[in-house]
Structure formats: structure tokens, C-alpha cells
A and B are shown apart, each in its own frame.
Chain A
Amino acid sequence: MKICIPIRRVADTTAKVTIAADGSSANEAGIKFVLNPYDEFALEAGLALKEGAGAGEVVALAFGPDSAQETLRTALAMGADSAVHLQGTPSPDGLVNAQVIADHVKGGGYDLVLFGKLAVDDYNQQTGAMMAELLGLPCATAITSLSVAGGVATVEREVEGGVETATCSLPAVFTCDKGLNTPRLPSLKGIMAAKKKPLEIVPTSAGEGKARVVSLSLPPERTAGVIVGEGAAAVPALMDALISKSKVL
């Protein structure tokens, strides 16, 4: 089984984000960048499938500037066999990015393409499903369970108030949610091995997008309220505030 894992380099979730002088991008200085957390679930799922089958190949793929190579090395350290860097600047229009990835995946002989559910920076949550649609492949998003047997995949995904179950034949595209697995940490041996694994660099030419970032802004700060008191004795004062002042009870 040949599995493709498209990944993204994102600001760590503990980062405090500030707006750059252009007003339409985030400052990168001083920010720690990591492999997108949801992509770790995708990568772990791919590695586990390969290990379970005792054979196969896991290819990590990233579309982005040269900094993406550092993130690809992280994926290689976790256990991916090889990496592909699609060189270019991602668009705010997810369809442009989906097309770039689709162009590579098409003809790549992949049985599975596993994306993260979303990237924790732009929250676009669309590239995986768009790529599947462009290639006419079956797709389920935000899966929390995946099993593959006899060329058929069975998945679960959370919807409001329930868990949806679905099946499709391979090749297929899934986007992975938290709950699917617990991603492994790169081992020291893995980190050393990653330096020697193949990382192919492919220049791309992305098309014109139909989305443009007009501005970024920070939402208004919430102001601290009042400490109504200490311990259980403060409960009546809290109830009074919730009922009379805030009117939420």
C-alpha cells in the first residue's frame, strides 16, 4: 500500500499571534513552527497501516516555501519513507492548493491520501476534500476511526450528536481528526535516519486564486470581570449575577 500524507508547517498552538505591518499576514518572528497537529494523526495512521500490513510506503508531501523542508524532515523522523517538497506559495484559495497537490497525487499510484482535518493557522479545512473532488476519489473528512481490509476502507466521523459510519473502496482520501490515534514522537534513531531519507524538490506553478485576504485583525480583548467571592459562600452572589445582571439563567 502506497500512502501519501500532505502536511503543513504551522505556528505552534501555544504561540501568541500578532499581525504583520502589511495588515494581511501574521508575524513569523519569534514564533515556533511545528508540524500541523492534525497532520500528525494522518501520519500516524499511515505509518500504522504500513506496519500492520508489513509492507508499503509512506510519502510525506508539503506544498509551500523552502521552510516546508524542515517540517518534512520531522515527518521523515516520525517514520515516513520519503518526502516531496512542492515548491511554491500556497494561496488563500484552497482550491489552488488542492490542484497543486492533485497534480502530484494523480499518477502517483497512491492507495490512500491522508490529510489532517485542518491546519491550525488558516483553519481553511478544505484542501483534502477539494483534492478528492478534483480527482474523482472517494472522500470522508474528519475521521476518528479507520480500518482497511481487502481494498475497502471503513471509517467513522463525528457529527453533532452522533458518529457517522461510512465505507468506500480504495484509492481514497481521508482527513484525520483528533481521536483517530496517538501520534508517535520522533525517536533519536528516527531523527538521524531522516537526514538520509530522500527528499525530492518539485517546482510548481500554482494558478490564480479566487480568494484574497483583505485584512487580519485581532478580536477585541475580553476584559476581566469580577471575582464574586471565595468558596461555596460565593455561589448566591454568582447566581444573582447570572440571573439578574447577565440574564443567562
Chain B
Amino acid sequence: MSSVLVVVEQRDGALRKGASDAIAAARLIADASGGTVDALVASDRAVSGVDGLGAMGADRVLNVTDGAFAHYNPDGIVAAVSGIAEQYRAVVVAATATGKDLAPRIAASIGGPCGMDVTAVEATASGVTVTRPIYAGKVLQVLELSGTPVVAVRPGTYPAASAGKAGAQEALAAPTFTRRLEVTGIKGSARASLDVAEARVIVAGGRGLGDPKHFAVLEDLAAAFGGEAAVGASRAVVDAGWIEHGAQVGQTGKTVAPELYFAIGVSGAIQHLAGMRTSKVIVAINRDKDAPIFKVADYGIVGDLFEVVPALADAVRKAKAH
């Protein structure tokens, strides 16, 4: 019972972001007691990229291939995991929207505690100790989990870990289960651009934009980054209906940690700062030189965003063209 199971997320036959973080975390737990890491992939077809799970640190890849897994099927995955869970000392998933949905269900079915959205794991003699941001990141909690814990690891926690394991491909029989929830499909989000949770660069706007139509200025800066930037927003403008809630960064929105975060016309309310404070580099552009956002920004420009942001978009385009 020193091995760890990772439930790897796939959609339409392609692996989703977070697999490497989950496997790296599982590796940390397994290696502490000389155990192995198994990766479980449930799909209705061959999944591209499963041959790379060994390089990420999986000793075995357990493929459950069944028509029941054409879409996300929580009841089916829970059944597959609980059927083999007693072989493992912990179960790990990536803390994506799907992983956060799945982890508590697995925990309840196997009777273990759930460490949600963790940013560090450590194996102990009696279980697993995790560190997790709470209050949207205002506070860090260290939690000791015993029994067979289910740990959801925030994507980006263990970047580019490589352990070079065999990743031996095996087939696992589909479980029998009762399908209580039927996922009927997936449609594109209202916004064509990237999700703030997945973007390397976030261009976030606040009340300083003055009018919802001015998000176009931010869209243009995001576009200058050529597909690696998402447009985000403060709670004030989401609540005012200027942009859809999925763009909200902060305590009642998403917690993000991109490499580069532009806070444009964002004053820097405490609940917004909580959601973006772990960004690698923060740039603030605001007319008010006393805005709290400048206290957390690495670089600030005091000025009219309608002059600064277009000039910045041009400069980014030129830099990218080189």
C-alpha cells in the first residue's frame, strides 16, 4: 500500500492540462515509501499523449476504454477508482474544474479525506501533508491527511517535472456502475479567448475602463500576445454586467497565477489581490498613483489607460515580430 493512483483527465481523446503536476505530486508521495505511481485514463477512444505519462513519472498507465466515457462521467470514474483504491495509499487528480468535481466524490466513495486545490504535498509516516491557499490565497493552510487521502493538485504546482518511468500501458476493464448524472456535451464558452485559469498572460480590467465597450482595448492587448493571453476582470465590473463572470479574478472568482498579469484600471481591492497575488510578474496601469494595486505591482505606469494600453499593444506586437 505504498503506491499512488493518479486519475488523468482527458477530453475528446487528448490529455488535459495538469496531468504532469498530478503525477509529480503522486511521485513525491510514492517515492517516500518506495511505491509506484499508476495513472488511470478513462476514455471512449485511444488517448493521444498517454505514451508520455511514463516520462512524467507514471510506472503504469491503466487505460479504461469504454463508450461510457465519451464525455466526463463522474459516476463511472468513481466506480473505476473505488474498485482498485484499496491498492493505493493516496489518489491524486489535477485541480481543474473536472478534478475539483471528481476528487470529493472519490473521497466519499473510499472514505478518505480530500485535500482540495493544494500547492504542495509531502508524504509523512501516517499519511500526506498538503499546503493549500484558503481565503482565496490570503492564508496558507497546512493540512495533515490520514487514511487514503484524495489530493487535488493545482495545475502549475510542479512544472516540468520529469521522472522517466516506464509508463507501461495496460488495459483495465470498464467498471459496472449506475450513471446518475449524464453529461450530454460540451460547448464553446461565451468568450472565444482563452480561460484565465489556463493563460500564461492575463490582461485584467476594472472599473477604470469606464464602459463595457472599452474591454475592446484590453482584448487588443491580449490579442497582441498571440493566443497566450486571456482577458480577466475585477468583481466590480463583473457585478455591473460588463463582462461574464468566468473572467472574474478574486475571492468570488478565480484564483490565478500567470507569468504576467496586467491590472488595468483595477484599483486593487483586497479580494481581487487575493486571487492574483501569486502571479509571477504584475504590471499595474492606473490613473490614480495612490491605487492599492501599485503596492503589489512589480511595474507600474501612472496614466490614462486609453493612451498607455494601445501603445503597449503596439510594442508587444513589435517585440513578438522579432
Contacts from A to B (Cβ < 8 Å) = 11, 13-17, 19, 26, 37-38, 92-95, 98, 120-134, 136-142, 144, 157-168, 172, 177-179, 209-219, 222, 224-232, 234-236, 238-239, 241-243, 246, 248-249
Distance of A123 Cα from B118 Cα, bound (Å): 11
Distance of A163 Cα from B189 Cα, bound (Å): 6
* B145: nearest chain-A partner, CB-CB: A211
Distance of A227 Cα from B298 Cα, bound (Å): 8
B32 at the A interface (CB under 8 A): no
Given contacts A125-B100, A164-B183, A165-B187, contact A134 B303 (CB under 8 A): no
Chain B, residues 127-143, CB within 8 Å of chain A (1/0): the string is 10100111111111111
Please report which residues of chain B, range 9-40, place their CB below 8 angstroms from some CB of chain A when the two chains form the complex.
Answer: 16-17
* B180: nearest chain-A partner, CB-CB: A138
Contact B298 A246 (CB under 8 A): yes
B214 at the A interface (CB under 8 A): no
Extra pairs beyond A129-B105, A218-B140 (10, CB < 8 Å): A14-B270, A120-B251, A134-B108, A142-B100, A164-B186, A166-B182, A219-B277, A222-B296, A235-B308, A239-B316
B215 at the A interface (CB under 8 A): no
Cβ distance A132 to chain B, nearest Cβ, rounded Å: 7
B259 at the A interface (CB under 8 A): yes
B198 at the A interface (CB under 8 A): yes
Contact A130 B181 (CB under 8 A): no
Q: Which residues of A contact B302 (CB under 8 A)?
A: 227, 229-231
Q: Which residues of A contact B108 (CB under 8 A)?
A: 95, 98, 129-131, 133-134
Cβ distance A61 to chain B, nearest Cβ, rounded Å: 18
B59 at the A interface (CB under 8 A): no
Contact B181 A140 (CB under 8 A): yes
Q: Which residues of B contact A232 (CB under 8 A)?
A: 303, 307-308, 310-311
Contact B308 A161 (CB under 8 A): no
Please report the total number of B residues contacting A with Cβ < 8 Å. Answer: 99
Q: Which residues of A contact B74 (CB under 8 A)?
A: 139
B123 at the A interface (CB under 8 A): no
Contacts from B to A (Cβ < 8 Å) = 16-17, 71-72, 74, 78, 96-98, 100-101, 103-105, 107-109, 111-117, 127, 129, 132-147, 149, 180-190, 194-195, 197-198, 201, 238, 244-246, 248, 250-253, 259-260, 269-271, 277-278, 280-283, 289, 294-304, 307-308, 310-312, 315-316, 319
22 contacts between A and B (CB under 8 A): A95-B107, A121-B134, A123-B133, A125-B116, A126-B116, A161-B195, A164-B183, A167-B184, A178-B253, A210-B112, A210-B149, A211-B115, A214-B129, A219-B139, A222-B295, A227-B289, A227-B302, A232-B303, A232-B311, A241-B298, A242-B283, A248-B260
Distance of A134 Cα from B184 Cα, bound (Å): 24
Contact B295 A213 (CB under 8 A): no
Contact A219 B135 (CB under 8 A): no
Grouping DSSP codes into helix (H, G, I), strand (E, B) and loop, the B interface class, with mixed when no group exceeds half, is mixed
Distance of A238 Cα from B149 Cα, bound (Å): 45
A162 touches which of B188, B244, B295, B304 (Cβ 8 Å) = B188
Contact B149 A231 (CB under 8 A): no
Cβ distance A15 to chain B, nearest Cβ, rounded Å: 8
Contact B295 A163 (CB under 8 A): no
Cβ distance A191 to chain B, nearest Cβ, rounded Å: 23
Distance of A167 Cα from B227 Cα, bound (Å): 33
Contact B294 A162 (CB under 8 A): no
Residue among A129, A136, A163, A168 facing the most chain B CB atoms (10 A cut-off): A129
A93 touches which of B16, B113, B129, B132 (Cβ 8 Å) = B113
Cβ distance B10 to chain A, nearest Cβ, rounded Å: 13
A141 touches which of B101, B141, B185 (Cβ 8 Å) = B101
A17 touches which of B17, B138, B280, B296 (Cβ 8 Å) = B138
Cβ distance B37 to chain A, nearest Cβ, rounded Å: 22
